[in-house]
């Protein structure tokens, strides 16, 4: 199995998740620190690479480009998949 | 869709256009009235949702340009050619017309007047918007934290808030403003037009040893280039905060 | 429905009898991406069908080019609501690729370079319904549209037509893919508007 070279596409910053996440959570999650489940890199959710031209928002680790979290908004539900993050540290 | 508000979560509120100002031939500032606006931090943004008569909706993010004035917030919109939303907001959207907004949001790309570190702001085009909010918040708080702004524009006519920036650079002690022109320079300008480079950032920014907080905002390619320069110059990547303006929604 | 903003129309769009419910016609070809675009060198590209007994059938680029190709003209429907009519492709029918594959599997999990996956019943890959496509509009498929090769399964929403495809796993069980695990419909028939789970 070969690993292809990746061209970083036109992504945005995790900041853009702030609105959609505030629809779910009572506080701002983008200022939280997340740890990537794939490579262990630690950083602000706001600094993730977000691909938003897609059926949902896909936030990737800026170090290894693996998926850290995904969010899909359907008409009557929000789907949040965080299996790519080991932990979230939310400042209180 | 009507829905009971859950405490703490954000839902959409109706905002109405109170007044508008032309910034450049392709940019307009919208002053929105948002009843019950809770206030915000400099650098935060709102999501704006527009609904057409047949129920079709489009949603975009816009940075807030100034500290809140009661229930009033300001956005500045740049026309993106062939854009679905920005040309509408500039050419058609009229006084008293409603839009829906969700915000303020974002707790990372923000500057707080209690912060004690020097600040470097690097703006590309419309990327000035949240950085101007920081300059205005600094002034409003009477802060003396040293600020430097490097503002990259195509031509002198593309500068947003031109008069105010001139005034603030003169009157606000500790604020330095420099411009980088990519297409056309003012008369008598010492350098030819060029894309922002290491020399611009090195000369007009802060040395990394001062541990400045760096805020970089603008189109994706611009942000990428400037963030790389800052890190190459020795700035701690964790102190380089970025906000890429770009398309959202499929 | 939210508050109407007077005079806002949005992107020009039309609906019509040729379009599945809730879809709008587009004339350009929007690029959707959930991640970086993989660049796969042709000399190392391969396509692998793995059966439920772990038997692997492999094709190099040259192997694939040696197979008979077809040029389907089809309508495509993206779950983000745009549809594009009469698009012309060139590729190898999955019937051709599957002809020597001995399987009793019911489901397929399509896998891409870059990690993307999507699932569907195996029957939806057969009988002239699916292609491994490498040309669009007579030109080599651009990487942003899934080149060197992508799936083309036009009777389902376009997220099933995986870009940068590297292989297909045939399975007894139905393993949900990238979007199917995040709220999107397991099958995705545009004519029945199966966008989200529960539709
Ligand atoms: C967090 C955040 C804050 C933002 N703040 C502001 C702000 O303060 N002021 C402001 O004017 N914009 C801001 N933007 C950008 C804004 O959200 C829209 O992307 C922009 O107004 C274009 O929308 P549109 O509907 O007109 O264009 P679309 O119809 O979405 O796009 C039309 C075409 O232009 C391209 N395009 C879209 N956006 C851009 C862009 N920004 N630059 C270059 N090409 C583009 C698209 O890929 C497409 O090809 C912000 C974006 C983000 C993510
Ligand atoms: Zn990682």
- What pLDDT digit, counting tens, does each position of B90-106 carry? 999 999 999 999 999 99
Domains of chain B, by residue range, sit at 12-105, 119-249
Contacts of B88 in chain C (CB under 8 A): 7-9
Q: What residues of chain B score a pLDDT lower than 50?
A: 1-3, 250
Say yes or no to pLDDT of A34 above 70: yes
A53–chain B nearest CA distance, Å: 4
Q: Of all protein residues, whose CA lies closest to atom 30 belonging to ligand 1?
A: B247
Q: Of all protein residues, whose CA lies closest to atom 28 belonging to ligand 1?
A: B83
> Chain C within 8 Å of A13 (Cβ-Cβ)?
no
Nearest to B205 by CA among B239, B177, B186, B225: B177
B195 vs A2, higher pLDDT = B195
CATH number, domain containing residue C149: 3.90.420.10
Contacts of B1 in chain C (CB under 8 A): 1-2
pLDDT band at A7 (very low <50, low <70, confident <90, very high): low
B246 touches B152 (CB < 8 A) = no
Residues 6+ apart with CB under 8 A from C71: C88, C89, C90
Side-chain-side CA neighbours of C197 within 13 Å: the count stands at 14
Q: Which ligand is nearest to the CA of A35?
A: 2
Structure-block tokens of residue A26: 């009572």
What does the mean pLDDT of chain C come to?
A: 95
C67 touches C92 (CB < 8 A) = yes
- C131 assigned to some structural domain: yes
pTM beyond 0.95: the answer is no
B245 touches A37 (CB < 8 A) = no
The DSSP letter of residue B188 is T
Report how many domains make up chain C.
1
CA distances from B230 to A10, B135, B217, C35, C104 (A): 20, 21, 13, 25, 57
Residues 6+ apart with CB under 8 A from B204: B148, B150, B176, B178
Q: In the structure, which protein residues have their CB atom closer than 6 angstroms to any atom of ligand 1?
A: A 12, 15-16; B 45, 60-63, 76-78, 80, 82-86, 126, 129, 219, 243, 245-248
pLDDT band at A9 (very low <50, low <70, confident <90, very high): low
Structure-block tokens of residue B63: 């940075």
C144–chain A nearest CA distance, Å: 9
CATH architecture of the domain formed by B119-249: 3-Layer(aba) Sandwich (3.40)
- The three-point CA angle C85-C88-C89 to 5° equals 130
Which of A10, A11, A13, A16, when mutated, tests ligand 1's pocket best, judged by the most ligand atoms within 8 Å of its CB? Answer: A16
pLDDT given for residue B5 in this prediction? 55
Say yes or no to pLDDT of A47 above 90: yes
Q: Of all protein residues, whose CA lies closest to atom 32 belonging to ligand 1?
A: B83
The C-alpha atoms of residue B121 and residue B123 are separated, in whole angstroms, by 6
CATH number of B12-105: 2.40.30.10
Pick the residue from chain A with its C-alpha nearest to B241: A47
Q: What is the 3-state secondary structure (H, E, C) of chain B?
A: CCCCCCCCCCCCEEEEEEEEEEEECCEEEEEEECCCCCCCCECCEEEEEEECCCCCEEEEEEEECCCCECCEEEEEEECCCCCCCHHHHHHCCCCCCEEEEEEEECCCCCECCCCCCCEEEEEEHHHHHHHHHHHHHHHHCCCCCCEEEEEEECCHHHCCCHHHHHHHHHHCCCEEEEEEECCCCCCCCCCCCCCCCHHHHHHHCCCHHHCCEEEEEEEHHHHHHHHHHHHHCCCCHHHEEEEEECCCCC
Q: What residues of chain C score a pLDDT lower than 50?
A: none
> Chain C within 8 Å of A38 (Cβ-Cβ)?
no
pLDDT given for residue C27 in this prediction? 86
C88 touches C76 (CB < 8 A) = no
The percent of chain C in helix, strand and coil, each rounded to the nearest 5, is: 15, 30, 55
Handedness of CA B128, B134, B136, B139 (dihedral sign): negative
Say yes or no to pLDDT of A5 above 90: no
The C-alpha atoms of residue A45 and residue A14 are separated, in whole angstroms, by 6
Domains of chain A, by residue range, sit at 12-86
Tell me, rounded to whole angstroms, the distance of Cα A55 from its chain centroid. Answer: 14
Q: Of all protein residues, whose CA lies closest to atom 41 belonging to ligand 1?
A: B246
Q: What is the pLDDT of residues B146-164, one digit of tens each?
A: 999 999 999 999 999 999 9
The verdict on ipTM greater than 0.90 is yes
* β-strand pairing of B240-245 with B213-219: parallel
What does the mean pLDDT of chain A come to?
A: 91
Handedness of CA C137, C142, C147, C152 (dihedral sign): negative
């Amino acid at each position: 199995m070969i690993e292809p070279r990746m061209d970083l596409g036109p992504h945005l910053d995790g900041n853009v998740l702030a609105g959609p996440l505030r629809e779910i959570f009572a506080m701002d999650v983008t200022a939280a620190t997340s740890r990537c489940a794939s490579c262990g890199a630690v950083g602000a959710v706001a600094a993730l690479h977000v691909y938003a031209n897609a059926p949902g928002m896909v936030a990737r680790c800026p170090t290894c480009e693996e998926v850290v979290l995904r969010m899909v908004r359907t008409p009557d539900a929000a789907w949040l998949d965080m299996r790519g993050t080991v932990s979230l540290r939310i400042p209180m | 869709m009507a829905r009971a508000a859950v405490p703490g979560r954000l839902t959409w509120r109706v905002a109405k256009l109170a007044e508008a100002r032309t910034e450049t031939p392709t940019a307009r500032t919208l002053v929105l009235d948002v009843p019950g606006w809770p206030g915000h931090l400099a650098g935060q943004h709102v999501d704006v949702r527009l609904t057409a008569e047949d129920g079709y909706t489009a949603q975009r993010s816009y940075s807030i340009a100034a500290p809140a004035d009661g229930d009033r917030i300001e956005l500045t919109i740049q026309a993106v050619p062939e854009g679905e939303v920005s040309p509408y907001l500039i050419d058609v959207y009229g006084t008293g017309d409603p839009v829906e907004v969700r915000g303020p949001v974002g707790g990372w790309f923000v500057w707080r007047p209690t912060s004690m570190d020097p600040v470097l702001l690097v703006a590309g085009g419309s990327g000035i918007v949240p950085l101007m909010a920081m300059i205005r918040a600094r002034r409003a708080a009477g802060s003396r934290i040293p600020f430097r702004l490097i503002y990259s524009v195509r031509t002198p006519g593309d500068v947003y808030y031109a008069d105010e920036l001139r005034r603030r650079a003169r009157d606000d002690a500790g604020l330095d403003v420099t411009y980088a022109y990519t297409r056309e320079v003012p008369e008598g300008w010492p350098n030819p037009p060029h894309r922002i480079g290491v020399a611009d950032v090195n000369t007009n920014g802060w040395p990394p040893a001062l541990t400045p907080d760096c805020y970089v905002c603008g189109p994706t390619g611009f942000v990428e280039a400037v963030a790389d320069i800052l890190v190459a110059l020795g700035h701690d990547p964790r102190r380089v905060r970025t906000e890429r303006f770009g398309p959202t929604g499929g | 429905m939210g508050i109407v903003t007077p005079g806002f129309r949005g992107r020009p769009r039309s609906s019509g009898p040729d379009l599945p419910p809730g879809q709008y016609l587009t004339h350009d070809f929007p690029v959707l991406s959930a991640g970086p675009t993989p660049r796969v060198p042709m000399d190392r590209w391969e396509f692998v069908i793995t059966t439920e007994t772990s038997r692997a059938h492999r094709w190099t680029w040259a192997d694939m080019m040696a197979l008979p190709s077809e040029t389907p003209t089809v309508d495509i429907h993206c779950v983000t609501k745009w549809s594009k009519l009469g698009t012309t492709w060139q590729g190898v029918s999955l019937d051709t690729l599957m002809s020597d594959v001995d399987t009793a599997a019911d489901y397929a999990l399509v896998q891409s370079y870059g990690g993307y996956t999507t699932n569907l019943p195996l029957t939806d890959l057969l009988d002239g319904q699916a292609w491994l496509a490498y040309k669009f509009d007579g030109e080599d498929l651009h990487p942003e549209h899934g080149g060197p090769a992508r799936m083309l399964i036009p009777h389902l929403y376009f997220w099933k037509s995986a870009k940068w495809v590297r292989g297909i796993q045939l399975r007894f069980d139905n393993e949900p893919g990238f979007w199917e695990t995040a709220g999107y419909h397991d099958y995705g028939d545009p004519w029945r508007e199966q966008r989200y789970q529960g539709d």
